[in-house]
């Protein structure tokens, strides 16, 4: 399984609304529930309508399109990192999954995953 490094820092945010979110930005993941409006975006793209923000995340993408019947791919990554004391923030899209870890743990996380048999690509 190949994991592609993403070359930017991300912020996980709660926003008042989405009117100031730049949906043309390369990365913007939004989630809306009856309780909140969430946004994950590149740190440089955080809008002024942010209510809460947790920054300093780095991430990677699971390469290739993941079919819905595939089981355990994200769980395997999460378990491998959890066993080493590294928490994740996972984001799924129609095609694939993205995994964010805190910036200070990022290089260690990649090394652990590489030792576990994942191929890291830049």
> Could you read off the pLDDT of 54-64 as tens digits, one per residue?
999 999 999 86
pTM of the complete model: 0.90
Those residues with Cβ within 8 angstroms of residue 98's Cβ, 6 or more apart along the chain or in another chain: 6, 29, 59, 60, 61, 62, 90, 91, 92
Mean pLDDT of the chain, nearest integer: 93
Mean pLDDT computed over 102-112: 98
| pLDDT beyond 60 at 71 | no
- Return the axis-axis angle of helices 106-115 and 73-82, rounded to nearest 10°: 110
| pLDDT beyond 70 at 115 | yes
At residue 55's C-alpha, the angle toward residues 122 and 91, to 5°, is 60
């Amino acid at each position: 399984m190949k994991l592609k490094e993403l070359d930017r820092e991300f912020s996980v945010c709660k926003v008042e609304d989405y009117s100031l979110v730049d949906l043309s930005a390369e990365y913007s993941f939004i989630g809306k529930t009856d309780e909140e409006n969430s946004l994950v975006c590149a740190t440089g793209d955080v809008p002024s309508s942010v209510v809460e923000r947790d920054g300093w995340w780095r991430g990677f993408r699971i390469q290739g399109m993941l079919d819905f019947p595939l089981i355990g791919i994200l769980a395997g990554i999460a378990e491998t990192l959890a066993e080493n004391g590294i928490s994740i923030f996972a984001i799924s899209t129609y095609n694939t999954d993205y995994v964010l870890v805190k910036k200070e743990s990022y290089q260690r996380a990649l090394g652990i995953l590489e030792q576990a048999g994942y191929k890291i690509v830049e």
